[in-house]
Amino acid sequence: MNYSKVVEHITAWLSNYCDKAGLSGFIIGISGGVDSGLTSTLCAMSGKKTILLSMPIHQPNAEYQRARNHMKDLEARFENVTSMDIDLTLSFDQISADFPDDVAEHHLAMANTRARLRMSTLYAIGQVNGCLVCGTGNKVEDFGVGFYTKYGDGGVDISPIADLTKSEVWALASEVDVIEEIVTASPTDGLWDDGRTDEDQIGASYPELEWAMEYKGDGSLLSERKQEVLSIYQRLNRMNRHKMEPIPVCIIPQEL
């Protein structure tokens, strides 16, 4: 893959899509991770208005500081970039207090609620500024294991890096000079107070998942670890298939 040409292709695609939509630019949630780091840099390179939005919710300080450092770096490099910092912790805490106890105490339900609160915030600010909400999901997350929140970080207008594997995201991030602390940080979805990584949650690294996504054999001659990774991939792909396909519609027969 010629990374410089891929960068040119994506930035031109972003600019053309924005022009056809009749909007002014893009808004991106900045998490402190490499996916949002790359996506926001590509949006900035398109020349269109680019709003970077940090939305901490009980965020570990290291994640928050990486996000802030990245936003400052892009603002210094690109005149079309502005940043905002909206702490949603109190809003999230109020939602938690309003929910029934069994919901508020359900860790996964509340983690997904964080993502959906952030999505609502992105769309509100994006609408006021005439901006498209730009997704930050990569190919493995979006089309392999479905590692995102439906109507949360999966609720976007466009997905410029969704055809790139995580390994390609890392390579392109270096190509466009995303700051080193972002590129080398352990991937995390930023939905947990303890800062657990994606690998902690999934049970496999992104390079392992990329291998499983491409594997076409029956698995009978694989090592024990590769069989485990393949099982993890297949289980998540099956379980999260509903995220990757259109919403089922019950078609009413005309004769009824």
Q: Which domains are assigned to the chain? A: 3-244 (3.40.50.620)
Instruction: pLDDT band for 219, please (50, 70, 90 cuts).
Output: confident
- Return d(Cα 252, Cα 31) in angstroms, integer: 43
User: Is residue 202 over pLDDT 90?
Assistant: yes
- Return d(Cα 30, Cα 133) in angstroms, integer: 12
pLDDT at 192: 84
Q: DSSP readout, 187-211? A: P--S-STT---HHHHHSS-HHHHHH
Question: What's the pLDDT tens digit per position in 25-47?
Answer: 999 999 999 999 999 999 999 99
> What Cα–Cα distance (Å) separates residue 132 from each residue in 35, 46, 55, 158, 212?
17, 13, 17, 7, 33
